[in-house]
Each structure stands twice: as structure tokens, then as C-alpha cells.
Amino acid sequence: MPERINGGQALVAIGAIALIVSLFLSWYEPGRSAWTVFEVWDIVLAAIGIAALASIVPARRTDVRDEHVVPERWLPALAGASLVIVVVSLINHPPTARGASPEVGAWLALGAAVLLAAGAILSRARISLVISLRSTDKTSSSPAPPPPPPEPEPPGADFEAETQTQPLPPSSRP
């Protein structure tokens, strides 16, 4: 049976995890991470990553269908906020990183924010992927032989009676 995976939620999960990981990598040279460069934006980006992950976790309520820990409708705002924060920090460096060039953490955060935005758009559009799992059983990997063709039936008396030729009726010609 095929398993259904929401493509938007998969992108949101990858983007949120990458955003959180990027905070620990160096954003500006010489080896300054987001935790040392930013005053508040590092905490805001971490909260956005956690909230984005919580928006794809289903709530444990049986009376409401498709409810998540954080409402899914917040995803576009979370993704937009992370994209704006990262782009502004790449264009206008924080005061503690003036004159330094961006490093791998900042670029990973930009990619993560783009993935979050794409995932938010896809999850609102309800686009899903279908994955078919193959059987790991070795004996069923070879195809079954085709069934033998049916035996032809011998011609019966009914067939002979239906196909016999009949004499023509007498004609009225002299």
C-alpha cells in the first residue's frame, strides 16, 4: 500500500532543522556564530524553527481532525519572517560583524528560509508525494509464471448441426 507524504511538510521539516543548525555554524568571519553576533534575532530564528517544526506535528486530540500543535496557517508568516531576517542580516550586517563577510551559516540559513517558504506554500496547496514501498522478500521478487492457455474444446455435434448446408428450395422455373 503506498504511503502518502505531504511534500510541503517535508520541506518545512528540512528547512526548520537546517535553520536551527545554521545558528550554531559560523555566520561571519572569523568564526562568529549567530549566537555571538545577534542580540535578539538568534532567539527569534530559533523560535521560528521550533514553531515551524511544531506546525507539522499533529495534536493528540481525537475530536478535531488535522489539528497541529502550532496552527498550520501560521507557516507562511513564520517562513516570511525567517526569510526577511536572514536576507536583512546578509545585506546589512549586525554591528558586531561590520566589515566581515558572510560564511556557511548565513548561506545555510538563507537556504533554510527559502525551503521554509517553499514548504509553507506547498503545504497550503496540499501537494503530496506518493511513495510505494517494495517488498524485501526474496522469494516474491521473481514474477510468477503465466497461467497455461486454456485447452481448446473439441468440436461438438451442435457445431456440426449449425453449420450443415441445406438444400435449396425447388424453384418455380420450367
Mean pLDDT of the chain: 78
- The predicted pLDDT at position 58 comes to 74
Whether residue 11 has pLDDT greater than 90: no
**pLDDT at 84 (0 to 100):** 93
More confident residue, 3 or 51: 51
SS (H, E, C) the chain: CCEEEEHHHHHHHHHHHHHHHHCCCEEECCCEEHHHHCCCHHHHHHHHHHHHHHCCCECCCCCCCCCECCCHHHHHHHHHHHHHHHHHHHHCCCHHHCCCCECHHHHHHHHHHHHHHHHHHHHHHCCEEEECCCCCCCHHHCCCCCCCCCCCCCCCHHHHHHHCCCCCCCCCCC
- The Cα–Cα gap between 41 and 23 comes to 10
For the chain, the straight-line distance linking the first and the last C-alpha, in angstroms and rounded, comes to 81
* Residue 119 pLDDT exceeds 80: yes
What are the distances in angstroms from CA 71 to CA 20, 32, 68, 78, 115?
A: 20, 34, 6, 11, 19
Asked whether residue 64 carries a pLDDT value surpassing 80, the answer given is no
Which cell goes with 3?
504511503
Please state whether beta strands 32-33 and 3-6 pair in parallel, antiparallel, or not at all (unpaired). unpaired
Task: Give the residue among 45, 27, 40 at the shortest CA–CA distance from 97.
Answer: 27
* In the predicted structure, residue 157 carries a pLDDT above the cut 60: no
Domain boundaries, the chain: 3-59+66-127
Q: What is the pTM of this model?
A: 0.66
CB-side neighbour CA atoms (13 Å) of 3? 6
HSE of 115, CA atoms in CB hemisphere, 13 A: 22
pLDDT at 2 over 60: no
State which amino acid sits at residue 63: D
Cα 165 → chain centroid: 71
